[in-house]
Amino acid sequence: MFPLQRGRRLRVNESIRSLVRETTLSPSDFMFPMFIAEGENVQVEISSMPGIFRRSIDLTLKEVQEIYALGIRAVNIYVKVSENLKDNTGKEAWNIDGLMQNAIRAIKAACPGMIVMPDVALDPYSIYGHDGIITHGDVENDSTNEALVKMAVSHAQAGADFVAPSDMMDGRVLRLREGLDAAGFHNVGIMSYSAKYASAFYGPFRDALDSAPVDSAAIPKDKKTYQMDYANRIEAIKEALWDVEEGADMVMVKPGIAYLDIVREVKNAVNVPVTVFHVSGEYAMIKAAAERGWLDHDRIMMEQLMCIKRAGASLISTYFAKEAAVLLNK
């Protein structure tokens, strides 16, 4: 009770504040999402994500080595495939000589210590822009799971450390674990997007991969039949617990800042590491506001990342990973 207890004694200066700080950040807390393009010496900035690029494999390797030197130890990779390789089956997704598989092999060869977590979902390979196979006008769950197993095994064959299913199909973690084990990849982990919401924050990401659902009356116009309703909280806990029971080594909450209540709920419910995806729309909002002088870019970036960690994240997938690591290393 005041005056015996004065909270400000622990805030007198930065040295004291650092002694009692409850949450800290380091570059090893970050995973860097990377977009891979076909070709050589290709680097295209994503207009809605300043500072983020689609790069060909050769330039991706240079970036991987740079971020590894900064202390970042994980990358989450996505590919932009040619339109002529897309169909409704997604079969290019498990082509052992496909862009994703070649990227995994190249990254592991160039930087063996980097943990590679390739995205497992069919939307980059789908003519419809959905995360699964369209049957009778809807995304068919079980046949999609069969395709995802083939995809994940091909990633493991290429050298992936973890596979990262982002599709939100029911039962896919169990099917992936069974498929990986049957193929002899017992030590390849699964980082499951367990609580992935049907969010408007993903817009810039879909610009990056040209993977938005196509406008057609014959198929769902959005992903709400498989991604979660953002009004729901208890459902996120249920989904995360299911995924852990099915064999997930890590679970993810996506998006980040707008869903910190969910991060804490999931963290309290599971006994595995919780990853949080600080998504493209959250990145773009800070960049746009900072460009207009409305926010201090570095201060708001670090505050948001610290808040995600404070909420319970063991790992933060963020487009700010490189910028934040540079600041932390200073």
Binding residues for Mg(2+): 239
Cα separation, 88 vs 120, in Å, equals 16
- What six digits make up the tokens of 84? 């002529």
Radius of gyration of the chain, Cα coordinates, nearest whole angstrom: 20
Instruction: Please confirm, yes or no, whether 196 is among the known catalytic residues.
Output: yes
41 conformational bin, left if phi > 0, alpha if psi -120 to 50, beta if neither: left
What backbone torsions phi and psi does residue 84 show, to the nearest 5 degrees?
A: -70, -10
147 Cβ partners below 8 Å, 6+ apart? 89, 90, 91, 93, 94, 122, 132, 133
The distance of Cα 88 from the centroid of its chain, to the nearest Å, equals 24
Which residue in the list 86, 196, 287, 322 is annotated as catalytic? 196
- Please state, in angstroms and as integers, the Cα–Cα distance from residue 60 to each residue in 5, 120, 152, 297, following that order: 54, 19, 21, 25
Please enumerate, by residue number, every residue annotated as part of a binding site: 239
* Annotated catalytic residue, options 223, 254, 267, 287: 254
3-state secondary structure (DSSP) of residue 226: coil
254 catalytic? Reply is yes
So which residues are the catalytic ones?
196, 254
